[in-house]
Structure 1
Amino acid sequence: MAAEQQAPSILGFPHRPEWGAAAHRRAVAGYLRRCRDHARIGARQAARCIGTSESTLSRLETGLAPLKPVEVERLLDVYGVRDPAERQRITLLVAEATQPESWHPYAHAAPNSLRPLLAMEPAARRIISYEPQLVPGWLQTEEYAQIVIRATHPTLPAKEIDERVRLRRARIDMLRRRVDPPVLLAVMDSEVFRRQVGTPGVMYRQITYLLTLLEDLRYQLRLHIAPLSVGAAGAIGHPIVHLRFFAPEYLPDMVYLEQYEGAVYREKPSESERYLAVLNHLCGVATPADQTASLLRQALDTWR
């Protein structure tokens, strides 16, 4: 009972600029919601204190609305948060939360449906990805990415396609981060290496690039190949990405489900755990990661 009555704390969430603005915003949002619950203050009353509506407060408490330092300070006063350490940490996190999102340099190229994933993946401790049709975006060469994007969006201007390619290529940089880079566990169907994208030369260079990444990122990238023999386990028709974060007590797992014209996100624990179980099963039935390089070298022979 005493633990249930203990005041919420944000001190366990560090100030980490490399995690991006969205992660800091979501951590502060969840903290504010817990503080309001602890103070037993209704949403309408709290919203009134900062001169806004309940719906706006709800968006603020879920990390969907921008944080304004003045409003956050006012809410902390209303909720009775007096600890200087808590307030100092909140000040740091709010300042980080108001910085441009990680995708901002590519704002014109980042589809709205992809932005939540782009914003949160820098804060991930582990990313599990399943791709049934193509090489995952993080791992594509420039020419492979350009062909895929042009095929999916044939009416896009060449300049925007180039911007999307640069965005896609830039995402791999987080795996090269010096401080706490995420680990990427990627599962691909074996048919990805038989499905021709562009010329045979494009495929040859793409597979060669994967071999280079496995060598350069040996501690951050684990690549599994799911053969057709996995049967129903590999019959998922769309890409899935599961993110688990460095501060899970503040940032719940996120699942990204890609669709042809958009995406769906799942964050309820029951849903994210269900998809995690699917991905873990795929990793288990796919070829072990330590055999992937050998399989890729075999695939090169197809495109020589």
Structure 2
Amino acid sequence: MAADRQAPSILGFPHRPEWGPAAHRKALAGYLRRCRDHAGVPSHQAARCIHSSAATLSRMETGRSAIKAAEVERLLDVYHVHDPRERARVSDLVEEAAKPEAWQPFANAVPQALRPLLAMEPAARRIISYEPQLVPGWLQTEEYAEIVIRAYHPTKPAREIEERVSLRMQRLEMLRREASPPVLLAVMDSEVFRRRVGTPGVMYRQIKHLLALLEELPYQLKLQIAPLTVGAAGAIGHPVVHLRFFTPEYLPDMVYLEQYEGALYREKPSESERYLAILNNLCWVATPAEQTSALLEQALTAWR
């Protein structure tokens, strides 16, 4: 019996503007889906209550569609959610979910495949990144980023390249914020520091930038270098990002798999745990983070 089961609650998900609208929308979407299941209301019936279709309700319940306050209020009535604390928290989340995403000022330049990652990474408690070819985007200098982006998109207009560079520079700021900043554990192949991007001066300044970031963000940034001797553990072949959030009961782990023409996302627990195991194994065999600064200092000598 639905009445015998404990009613879903959204009170465990805090109102945290620094986490971004997408995290609030996604947590709220899952809550609405659980409330409907608890109330035993079929999706087509709930959709009729808000003068919509079952497909639209499905997008709302997965966070892929905007959530309107009036519709949410009506659904809560239908699902018999009367607790004023629950409804107050829902109201806060609806308001936060309606705000612009961090990438939206650069919408014309941001590829569709990258938007879910950009939208959700501010809400992460921990980010593990593996990059086999380049310095990870969060940690690139402006000149390094511009060269990389131009190489990937040689036909794009200069204005769009500039916007992509600006957005990439902005992403690091989440590590600098005072309220619940994520921890970034980035693993790079050692060949990244031998692969010339631009002039030797660009490479020299990029490595110096990494050294400065390690000093500036000793608790939020951990950097490891995977030598060629790691063998099969480092044969992933493409960038991987694993996000773990502050509230896993509301936001499941997310995995981003970069492809040349797009990206894949994995959120099923069995898949995200598999990639986490792969990344953990790579971290285990890579050079310890405590040795990274010394290795970067050595890498500088090749670009003086």
Which TM-score bucket, shorter chain as reference? over 0.9
* Cross-structure match for 1:82: 82
**Structure 1: 4+ residue segments shifted above 2 A:** 1-4
Distance 1:4 1:226 in 2: 53
* Cross-structure match for 2:295: 295
Distance 1:205 1:80 in 2: 60
Q: How does 1:275-286 map to 2 (within 5 A)?
A: 275-286=275-286
Deviation at 1:2, TM superposition (A): 11
Q: 2:159 aligns to what SS in structure 1?
A: helix
Match status 1:146 vs 2:146: yes
2:39 partner amino acid:
A
* Cross-structure match for 1:25: 25
1:36 partner amino acid:
R
Distance 2:165 2:192 in 1: 19
Distance 1:272 1:2 in 2: 31
Stretches of structure 1 that go unaligned for 5 or more consecutive residues are none
Q: 2:251 aligns to what SS in structure 1?
A: coil
Q: 2:280 aligns to what SS in structure 1?
A: helix
* Cross-structure match for 1:102: 102
Q: 1:155 aligns to what SS in structure 2?
A: coil
Q: 1:263 aligns to what SS in structure 2?
A: strand
* Cross-structure match for 2:224: 224
* Cross-structure match for 1:91: 91
1:191 partner amino acid:
E
Identity of aligned residues (%): 76
Q: 2:112 aligns to what SS in structure 1?
A: coil
2:40 partner amino acid:
R
Q: Could you give the per-residue CA deviations for residues 116-152 of structure 1, whole angstroms, max 9, x where no partner exists?
A: 0000000000000000000000000000000000000
1:29 partner amino acid:
A
Change (3 A) 1:4 1:203: farther
Q: 1:114 aligns to what SS in structure 2?
A: helix
Q: What TM-score does the superposition give when structure 2 sets the normalisation length?
A: 0.98
Instruction: Give the number of equivalent residue pairs.
Output: 304
* Cross-structure match for 2:60: 60
RMSD, aligned CA:
1.2
Q: 2:224 aligns to what SS in structure 1?
A: strand
Deviation at 1:65, TM superposition (A): 0.4
1:66 partner amino acid:
A
* Cross-structure match for 2:161: 161
Q: Could you give the per-residue CA deviations for residues 48-101 of structure 1, whole angstroms, max 9, x where no partner exists?
A: 111111111111000000001011000000000000000000000000000001
Answer whether contact 1:244 1:253 (CA < 8 A) is retained: yes
1:176 partner amino acid:
R
Q: Could you give the per-residue CA deviations for residues 250-283 of structure 1, whole angstroms, max 9, x where no partner exists?
A: 0000000000010000000100000000011111
1:246 partner amino acid:
F
Deviation at 1:3, TM superposition (A): 11
1:242 partner amino acid:
H
Distance 1:5 1:177 in 2: 40
* Cross-structure match for 2:244: 244
Match status 1:174 vs 2:174: yes
1:16 partner amino acid:
R
Distance 1:274 1:49 in 2: 40
Distance 2:201 2:159 in 1: 24
Answer whether contact 1:109 1:167 (CA < 8 A) is retained: no
2:166 partner amino acid:
R
